[in-house]
Structure 1
Amino acid sequence: MGAVELVALAGSVSLLAGWRLYLCVFATGLAMRAGWVALPRHLESLDILANPWVIGVAAVALLLEFLADKIALLDSVWDAVHTLVRPVGGALLALAIVDANDPAWQVVALLLGGGGALVGHAAKASTRAAVNTSPEPFSNVVVSTGEDVATAGLTFAALASPVLAVIVFVVVLVFSLAVLWIAGRFLKRLFRREVPPG
């Protein structure tokens, strides 16, 4: 796997970790443990994710996130708490993907991973803030379930093929930036309407 593919894989996983950190860790670990994804030699550092303890802790955290994410307002509290957790997790996942012997790649991985997870997290949190303005509870469940399915599928795709990793990276980055732009405009209009005339 070349430098471009490694950066794309690190970027893909970190962007997706911004949506669902625990699902990324759990899905990657489970896929490796079950032999569904055979990692190349240079990604052997990700083997730690296949450890039963790591999979177990990720599964518990995933279950908590799955439940919290389906309840309006509780999902916003969960997102607020994870504003720091997801970028750190994304940075660590990206760091595990690149060459650990090269300090330059370590810095690139930390910046890319943390930044990517922060962009993914900001898109997710902005979407949730907009969805939570709806009085009915079903839109929250639909959006959350869509995030679950998309994160799992895109994580497996990025791990399965270097070409898919590049595609996933570009698609998720463009999607996240578009969501941020749209959610920002929506929230700006919403708060403009709620300000009493002065």
Structure 2
Amino acid sequence: MSVLPLIFTAGWASGINAYAVVFLLGVFGRIGWADDVPAGLERTDVLVAAGVLFLIEAVADKIPYLDSFWDAMHTVVRPASGAVVSALIAGQDDSLPTLFAAAVGGTTALLSHVVKAGTRMAVNTSPEPVTNIALSTVEDLGVAGVITLAVFFPILAAVIAAIALAIGLWVVYLCANRIRRYRRRRSERRAAHRAGRDPALE
């Protein structure tokens, strides 16, 4: 059977938390739950690095404004990770060209990253941290759940990922005004900082 459903799901999840995808797939491959996991993801150094980075992201992603800064830093990292993981998975199977797999995984990761970053900008227009923590926790659990499901039922996991992506893009569209407000506020703060003024005191 084609590995395309697993590739699509891994791409979607990489756009939310690339380190969790690498870590979970590596662990599942290492314990023998998944046959399509590349050997490179099962290496001890890769698992340790992914695990540490995942823990750092789990903390940073729950702190207002720091989460958006973290997202901005990963605008390239997440799509690139989705493309690489997808290409490696396709390399384990002859049913899908590697370049096509990389394109699918990278594009899907980019779209889900846009959803994640956009919704977080919208949330950060409110000063309370509870929503950030709740949203980040749901994302972490969602990635873990869908990636685990993809190992056993890849088509079902891909359908869930596609629905989640479609809903997420629609939510970002609905939150466009809040996202623009966040970006405008950040631009004003940067301009005030460059001018040597503290906007909090004005």
* TM-score normalised by the chain length of structure 2: 0.82
Q: CA deviation at 1:165?
A: 3.5
How large is the Cα RMSD of the aligned pairs? 2.3
Aligned: 1:18 with 2:15: yes
Given candidates 83, 102, 111, the residue that maps to 1:110 is 102
Unmatched tracts of structure 1, length 5 or more = none
Aligned: 1:47 with 2:33: no
Distance, in Å, in 1 between the alignment partners of 2:91 and 2:61 is: 34
Q: 1:108 to 1:67 in 2, by over 3 A?
A: same
Distance, in Å, in 2 between the alignment partners of 1:68 and 1:166 is: 28
Q: CA deviation at 1:100?
A: 6.4
Written as runs of structure 1 = structure 2, the 5 A alignment for 1:24-173 is 24-35=21-32, 37-39=33-35, 43=36, 46-99=38-91, 105-173=97-165
SS at match of 1:65: helix
**Greater relative contact order (CA < 8 Å, ≥ 6 in sequence):** 1
Q: Is residue 146–residue 161 contact of structure 2 (8 Å, CA) maintained in 1?
A: no
Distance, in Å, in 2 between the alignment partners of 1:174 and 1:129 is: 18
Identity across aligned pairs (percent)? Answer: 37
Distance, in Å, in 2 between the alignment partners of 1:83 and 1:24 is: 16
SS at match of 1:83: coil
Q: Is residue 6–residue 155 contact of structure 2 (8 Å, CA) maintained in 1?
A: no
Q: CA deviation at 1:133?
A: 0.9
Q: CA deviation at 1:105?
A: 1.5
Q: CA deviation at 1:99?
A: 4.1
Runs of 4 or more consecutive aligned structure 1 residues displaced over 3 Å after TM superposition: 99-102
How many equivalent pairs are there?
184
